[in-house]
Amino acid sequence: MGKKSSNTLVAFLAGAAAGAILGILYAPDKGTTTRGKLSYRLDKYKKVLEDFIEDLVSGKDTELTSEAKSQGQKVVSEAKGKAERLLGDVDDLLAQIRGSKKS
């Protein structure tokens, strides 16, 4: 699963959740029925999120946890590269400062 398909999955899930909630809010039901439906849907999405977090923390290998780990490793790798470039720039700047002081 690539970054694009991961973003598509997240967007789909967010859209589904938003659509379900909006559909429930605008349905012509009594307030207690609407609150009950909302509560059920939110509990369902909460459970999915809790399961994902549990799988991620425990190291269970699922499609979503694999993608999350892959993206996390990519972020760490990019941050490391940027930090190394920054360190190189600092070293160059220090060399220039020290070189100009000797003159």
Per-residue pLDDT tens listing for the chain (103 residues): 556 666 677 777 788 877 777 776 676 667 777 778 778 888 888 888 888 888 878 888 888 888 888 888 888 888 988 999 999 989 888 888 888 654 4
State residue 103's pLDDT score: 43
Q: Where are the domains of the chain?
A: 3-102
Q: What is the pTM of this model?
A: 0.42
State residue 28's pLDDT score: 66
Q: Are the CB atoms for 52 and 64 separated by under 8 Å?
A: yes
Q: Are the CB atoms for 24 and 34 separated by under 8 Å?
A: yes
State residue 102's pLDDT score: 47
CA atoms within 13 A on the CB side of 36: 5
